[in-house]
């Protein structure tokens, strides 16, 4: 890519900030010519750690939860979002569109949870600059090497929106030699039919891979049919001191929207629809170029990614039909450098980098055949960060800072609310982390820092003061914890607190239909426990518990609970692997009661009821074949976790009992 092309992608910053990336790219051609690999050898396993560089998995982020590809397969999970919820213990709310993209919630952020965590694939943000879930269904589950869940403020490395934490999805590298692949076919009730395939081939340092999938399901509710297609393909060159490659990912979703129910409607028939004419679609394409190069004690790396998304919607009512189309583009460029050095028993790692982002969206809509919106919105961001980590003996200490500038523009001459604004923000983040091995198999750790997020375009489109964008949200983050054990048996406990100022949230009590506001000071605090152990050779047990209190600490709402936050959640899973081709996995998830999404004043006498669900899987493996029976919500419980109404309304029911049969072939 030329400097001219990069100027077009980032005209506001010029080329002086791109020097680290050009340094990385300029040394690649000569290194590729020297690529030598061992016959039949696969690339060593790596993980994108807290330093945003590939490293040994043993250097995972402090206090992180790690889900491996083996964990996902043993549980019979067929999508990334489900793996995060059922194996990582992350609470999620049912998608309003019937897709697999549940709304994930780290640390109890309720209705704004999607905007308070950052989801990435190999360092590329999936999280949106609008009010929509990150489309984790665009990542084929067969492509996943591991998932790292880091709870708590992570703005130093990942910028805005990382107050609740980050979820990093790390994909597999292709083989150096040979071919490998998987084909999976699955059928089940509710008209479920799914077919997925993955193949990778490598030779002499060059590898290619491709993954394709198709899913059709009627889902549990009426008018909730989903058709989805995925493609992911990549190629990369690996050499002794680095690698470079390209990746293309595509997602096509066509959904019908069942709509929300009142509690009376839910009790009468949770499968009914209140919006039989509503439907929509998502088309997403993502193109990524990545490069890594080591020169002595210095590592250079960069990603350049572009995401193009088209969202369509059709909504019918007694007053007419609302039709919308939104076309968005997002470009991310992230060059960075790592210097490692050793001084006797002390090792030091300094990481410094730049993050550039450019997002734009054009929205056109009409109501009853008359134009109702012609909105243009854009956001540019430029950030610099530096992080230093020292390791000696059993001690790890890391400190980092980040400075970031945002420029936001919006214009909609047809709007009945905000018609335009231009706003700049300059924000800073910092963190200090440490862990210490008190004795073999026993570590203590702590984190402190400051994180932030900025209001997205949809939040700024509806504010209490006309044409005035919201203030940035900031959080003071604190966490202490301890880990006891090793791979055979391990337990981690964390106590955390987030004190937020200007939290960005939807307040339904403002005006006629509510508005997005900066709240009075709020607080999230609680305790998390993760434990896993092996019982003999054949059994493994895992438990995840979370207690969180989310309340206002000042203003007229002081002492009131934040909505859509369960105080307690629990996950318990047991796996049986006797080693004779048979395996089984059973999981129980319990979620405490929570306030309805519109019960801002805590006045509703009812709460979203607590619930417990059971899922399980039995599999038989014979040679390259594996046959499995999977069941979810085995007790056929009628329940819901997503309800945006003020009281006993706005309910999106979860699925009833579903049974699926699958066949898998590995080669």
Q: How far apart are CA 600 and CA 139, in angstroms?
A: 35
Q: What is the pLDDT averaged over residues 333-345?
A: 95
Q: What is the pLDDT of residue 8?
A: 35
Q: What is the pLDDT of residue 382?
A: 98
pLDDT tens digits for 409-457?
999 999 989 999 999 999 999 999 999 999 999 999 999 999 999 999 9
Q: What is the pLDDT averaged over residues 299-316?
A: 97
Phi and psi at 134, nearest 5°, equal -65, 130
SS3 648: coil
Give the chain's mean pLDDT: 90
pLDDT of residue 492 exceeding 60: yes
- Of residues 225 and 18, the one with the higher pLDDT is 225
- Cβ-based neighbour number of residue 395 at 10 Å: 12
**Nearest-CA neighbor of 286 among 426, 173, 134, 472?**
134
Q: What is the pLDDT of residue 60?
A: 65
DSSP annotation of 174 reads: P
* No. of helices (H) and no. of strands (E), the chain: 8, 35
Q: How far apart are CA 50 and CA 389, in angstroms?
A: 10
pLDDT tens digits for 158-208?
999 999 999 999 998 878 789 999 999 999 999 999 999 999 999 988 999
Token pair belonging to 139: 């990542």
pLDDT tens digits for 109-157?
999 999 999 999 999 999 888 998 899 999 999 999 999 999 999 999 9
Q: What is the pLDDT averaged over residues 71-97?
A: 91
pLDDT tens digits for 548-563?
999 999 988 899 999 9
pLDDT of residue 541 exceeding 90: yes
Token pair belonging to 440: 């073999």
**Nearest-CA neighbor of 424 among 462, 471, 361?**
471
Residues 308, 329: contact at Cβ < 8 Å?
Answer: yes
**Nearest-CA neighbor of 445 among 647, 150, 113?**
150
Q: Which helix (H) or strand (E) holds 5?
A: helix 3-9
Q: What is the pLDDT averaged over residues 30-41?
A: 36
pLDDT bin (cut points 50, 70, 90) of residue 55 is low
Q: What is the pLDDT averaged over residues 204-232?
A: 96
pLDDT tens digits for 616-628?
999 999 999 999 9
pLDDT of residue 527 exceeding 70: yes
pLDDT of residue 399 exceeding 50: yes
Q: What is the pLDDT of residue 30?
A: 35
- Cβ-based neighbour number of residue 441 at 10 Å: 13
Q: Please name the residue that has the structure tokens 């665009």.
A: 138
Q: What is the pLDDT of residue 116?
A: 96
pLDDT tens digits for 267-287?
999 999 999 999 999 999 999
Q: How far apart are CA 106 and CA 96, in angstroms?
A: 19
- Of residues 42 and 225, the one with the higher pLDDT is 225
pLDDT of residue 519 exceeding 50: yes
**Nearest-CA neighbor of 311 among 325, 322, 323?**
325
- Count of alpha carbons within 13 angstroms of residue 11, beta-carbon side: 2
Q: How far apart are CA 120 and CA 140, in angstroms?
A: 14
pLDDT of residue 308 exceeding 60: yes
SS3 460: helix
Q: What is the pLDDT averaged over residues 297-310?
A: 96
pLDDT of residue 51 exceeding 80: no
Q: What is the pLDDT of residue 174?
A: 79
Least confident window among 338-352, 360-374, 505-519? 505-519
- Of residues 394 and 46, the one with the higher pLDDT is 394
**Would the CA dihedral through 517, 518, 522, 528 be positive or negative?**
positive
pLDDT bin (cut points 50, 70, 90) of residue 58 is low
Q: Is 368 exposed, middle or buried (0-12, 13-18, 19+ CB in 10 A)?
A: exposed
Q: How far apart are CA 339 and CA 299, in angstroms?
A: 6
Token pair belonging to 318: 């007694």
Q: What is the pLDDT of residue 513?
A: 85
- Of residues 16 and 226, the one with the higher pLDDT is 226
């Amino acid at each position: 890519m030329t400097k001219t092309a990069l100027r077009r992608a980032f005209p506001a910053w010029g080329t002086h900030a791109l020097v680290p990336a050009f340094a990385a790219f300029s040394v690649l051609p000569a290194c590729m010519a020297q690529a030598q690999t061992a016959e039949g050898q696969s690339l060593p396993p790596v993980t994108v750690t807290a330093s945003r560089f590939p490293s040994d998995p043993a250097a995972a982020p402090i206090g992180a939860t790690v889900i491996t590809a083996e964990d996902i397969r043993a549980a019979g999970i067929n999508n990334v979002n489900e793996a995060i919820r059922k194996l990582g213990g992350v609470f999620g709310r049912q998608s309003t569109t019937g897709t697999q993209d549940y709304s994930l919630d780290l640390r109890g952020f309720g209705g704004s949870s999607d905007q308070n965590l950052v989801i990435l694939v190999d360092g590329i943000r999936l999280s949106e600059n609008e009010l929509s879930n990150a489309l984790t269904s665009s990542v084929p589950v067969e492509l996943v090497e591991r998932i790292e869940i880091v709870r708590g403020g992570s703005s130093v490395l990942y910028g805005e929106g990382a107050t609740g934490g980050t979820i990093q999805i790390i994909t597999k590298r292709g083989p150096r030699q040979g071919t490998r692949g998987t084909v999976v076919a699955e059928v089940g009730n509710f008209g479920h039919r799914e077919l997925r395939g993955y193949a990778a081939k490598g030779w002499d340092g060059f590898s290619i891979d491709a993954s394709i999938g198709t899913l059709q399901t009627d889902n549990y509710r009426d008018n909730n049919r989903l058709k989805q297609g995925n493609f992911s393909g990549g190629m990369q060159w690996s050499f002794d001191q680095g690698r470079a490659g390209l990746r293309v990912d595509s997602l096509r979703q066509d959904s019908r929207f069942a709509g929300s129910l009142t509690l009376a409607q839910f009790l009468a028939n949770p499968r009914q629809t209140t919006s039989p004419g509503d439907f929509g679609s998502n088309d997403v394409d993502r193109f990524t170029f990545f490069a890594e190069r080591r020169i002595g004690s210095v590592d250079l790396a960069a990603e350049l990614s572009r995401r193009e998304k088209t969202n369509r919607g059709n909504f019918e009512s007694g007053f007419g039909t609302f039709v919308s189309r939104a076309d968005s583009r997002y470009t991310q460029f992230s060059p960075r450098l790592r210097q490692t050095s050793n001084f006797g028993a002390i090792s030091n790692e300094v990481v410094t980098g730049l993050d550039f982002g450019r997002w734009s969206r054009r929205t056109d809509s009409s109501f009853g055949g008359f134009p109702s919106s012609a909105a243009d919105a854009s956001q540019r961001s430029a950030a610099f960060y530096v992080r230093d980590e020292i390791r000696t003996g059993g001690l790890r200490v890391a400190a980092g800072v980040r400075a970031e500038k945002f420029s936001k523009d919006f214009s909609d001459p047809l709007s009945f609310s905000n018609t335009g604004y231009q706003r700049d923000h300059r924000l800073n983040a910092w963190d200090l982390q440490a862990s210490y091995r008190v004795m073999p198999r026993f570590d203590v750790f702590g984190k402190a820092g400051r994180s932030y997020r900025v209001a997205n375009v949809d939040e700024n489109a509806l504010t209490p003061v006309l044409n005035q964008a919201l203030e940035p949200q900031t959080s003071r983050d604190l966490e202490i914890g301890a880990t006891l054990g090793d791979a055979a048996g391990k337990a981690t406990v964390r106590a955390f607190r987030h004190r937020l100022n200007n939290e960005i949230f939807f307040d339904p009590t403002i005006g006629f239909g509510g508005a997005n506001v900066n709240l009075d000071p709020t607080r999230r605090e609680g305790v998390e426990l993760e434990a896993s152990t092996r019982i003999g050779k054949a059994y493994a047990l895992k438990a995840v518990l979370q207690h969180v209190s989310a309340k206002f600490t000042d203003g007229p709402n002081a002492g009131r609970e934040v909505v859509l936050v369960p105080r307690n959640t629990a996950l318990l899973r047991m796996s049986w692997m006797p080693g004779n081709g048979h395996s089984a996995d059973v999981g129980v998830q319990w979620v405490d009661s929570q306030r309805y999404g519109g019960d801002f004043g805590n006045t509703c006498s009812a709460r979203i009821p607590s619930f417990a669900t059971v899922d399980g899987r039995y599999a038989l493996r014979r040679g390259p074949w594996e046959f499995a029976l999977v069941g979810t919500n085995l007790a056929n419980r009628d329940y819901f976790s997503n309800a945006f109404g003020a009281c006993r309304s706005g309910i999106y029911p979860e699925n009833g009992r579903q049974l699926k049969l699958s066949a898998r072939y590995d080669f």
